[in-house]
């Protein structure tokens, strides 16, 4: 049994700007598990900085190396891995990277494609696009391109003070599109009067307006707005999802397997959303072709009822590290057939972009 990691530095095709900063490339840890002829892959959705949430590449690597890798090496099923890693508080992205590695391994061992291994698959995922902040002309052009390519929902990033300009221009040019906005927690309880003005733009939902770990103020805001609230950063466990719906803090949840500690917890959140007749979709963290295969698979499950931030590979990197990128047809992507993620790693690009590697 071999458990290896690589750290890659992948240049993005164009800079991605959110309320917490601009990325021009992505430093990502990739994990490779080899055992009895099976090779499984996963990646960590952490970044170099803890600006989206509390974890980053360095904390995740520490948790994986010093606590999780000994458990992974015993090759437990994902649910068992979850239980056995409970003694570590938080650090969900680190846990997810290892749980998903085991997901790919056990799906391959069983000979099943990832979506079927996870649950009831529809066989395709509906796709929306997440656009970073640009100047208005570029944003409008990117939206037109996305609509021409068949995307089923447009999401724009906003930040305090720029929301009216961005959403006003977008709505002037595209009065009828399915539109959402993501603030990545840029507002506080002092900004309610400003945030409430967003109601005039008829968004399908407003994503994570307030603090990254808040539910209570979101509940207060939700009562004062007609726009449904979607929570992303705040939902870090099934229990948080339950509390958010009980308090009417949101009507929509953006599931990211990394933020929730893996696929198992993500499936539990899907069940919770269903029990409240809410909406749920699969988010993204600018994943490589590895993480993207997991996202497309879970986004294909029957419980998912809104388009996800699961763009085809060609939106993201100058060169991705897979030889069989996803293709979008009529705003949908089909998960790979075959076993597990079904991805074929492009060893040339994997090597080209590796900045560190080692054994766990």
Just list the catalytic residues: 157, 256
289 binds, among Mg ion, ligand OSB, none (CB under 5 to 8 A by kind): none
Q: Which of 236, 311, 336, 341 binds ligand OSB (CB under 6 A)?
A: 311
The Cα–Cα gap between 138 and 23 comes to 17
Closest CB to ligand OSB: residue number: 284
The Cα–Cα gap between 182 and 48 comes to 21
The Cα–Cα gap between 52 and 254 comes to 14
Question: Which is closer to ligand OSB, CB of 263 or CB of 285?
Answer: 285
The Cα–Cα gap between 333 and 312 comes to 8
349 binds, among Mg ion, ligand OSB, none (CB under 5 to 8 A by kind): none
Show contacts with ligand OSB in window 118-157 (CB under 6 A): 130
The radius of gyration computed from the CA coordinates of the chain, to the nearest angstrom, equals 19
266 binds, among Mg ion, ligand OSB, none (CB under 5 to 8 A by kind): none
Residues forming the site for Mg ion (CB under 5 A): 182, 207, 232
CA nearest to 294, candidates 265, 260, 329, 258 = 258
Question: Which is closer to Mg ion, CB of 104 or CB of 207?
Answer: 207
Q: How many beta carbons lie within 10 A of that of residue 171, not counting itself? A: 16
Strand ranges inside the chain, DSSP E:
2-18, 21-35, 38-43, 125-126, 129-131, 154-157, 179-182, 205-207, 229-231, 252-255, 279-282, 332-333, 354-359
Q: Is residue 288 a contact residue for ligand OSB (CB under 6 A)?
A: no
Q: Mark the segment that binds ligand OSB (CB under 6 A) among 133-141, 265-273, 284-292, 318-326.
A: 284-292
130 binds, among Mg ion, ligand OSB, none (CB under 5 to 8 A by kind): ligand OSB
Question: Which is closer to Mg ion, CB of 55 or CB of 232?
Answer: 232
What residue ranges bind ligand OSB (CB under 6 A)? 52, 130, 182, 184, 232, 283-286, 309, 311
């Amino acid at each position: 049994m071999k458990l290896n990691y690589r750290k890659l530095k992948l240049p993005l095709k164009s800079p991605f700007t959110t309320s917490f900063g601009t990325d021009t490339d992505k430093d990502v840890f990739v994990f490779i598990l080899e055992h009895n002829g099976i090779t499984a892959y996963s990646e960590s959705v952490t970044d170099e900085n803890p600006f989206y949430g509390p974890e980053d590449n360095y904390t995740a690597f520490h948790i994986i190396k010093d606590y999780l890798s000994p458990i992974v090496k015993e090759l437990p099923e994902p649910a068992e891995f979850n239980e056995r890693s409970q003694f570590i508080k938080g650090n969900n992205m680190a846990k997810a990277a290892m749980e998903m590695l085991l997901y790919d391994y056990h799906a391959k061992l069983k000979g099943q494609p990832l979506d079927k291994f996870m649950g009831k698959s529809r066989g395709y995922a509906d796709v929306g696009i997440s656009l970073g902040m640009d100047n208005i002309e570029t944003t409008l052009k990117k939206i037109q391109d996305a609509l021409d390519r068949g995307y089923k929902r447009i999401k724009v990033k906003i930040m305090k003070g720029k929301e009216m300009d961005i959403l006003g221009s977008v709505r002037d040019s595209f009065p009828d599109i399915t539109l959402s906005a993501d603030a990545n927690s840029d507002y506080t309880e002092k900004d309610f009067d400003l945030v409430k003005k967003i109601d005039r733009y008829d968004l399908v939902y407003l994503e994570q307006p307030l603090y990254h770990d808040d539910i209570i103020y979101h509940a207060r805001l939700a009562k004062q707005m007609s726009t449904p609230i979607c929570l992303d950063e705040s939902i870090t466990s099934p229990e948080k999802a339950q509390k958010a719906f009980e308090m009417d803090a949101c009507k929509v949840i953006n599931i990211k397997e990394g933020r929730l500690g893996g696929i198992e917890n993500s499936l539990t959140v899907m069940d919770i959303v269903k029990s409240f007749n809410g909406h749920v979709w699969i988010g993204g963290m600018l994943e490589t072709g590895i993480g993207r295969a997991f996202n497309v698979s879970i986004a294909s499950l029957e419980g998912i009822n809104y388009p996800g931030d699961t763009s085809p590979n060609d939106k993201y990197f100058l060169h991705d590290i897979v030889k069989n990128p996803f293709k979008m047809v009529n705003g949908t992507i089909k998960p790979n057939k075959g076993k597990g993620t079904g991805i074929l790693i492009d060893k040339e690009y994997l090597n080209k972009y590796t900045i560190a590697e080692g054994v766990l």
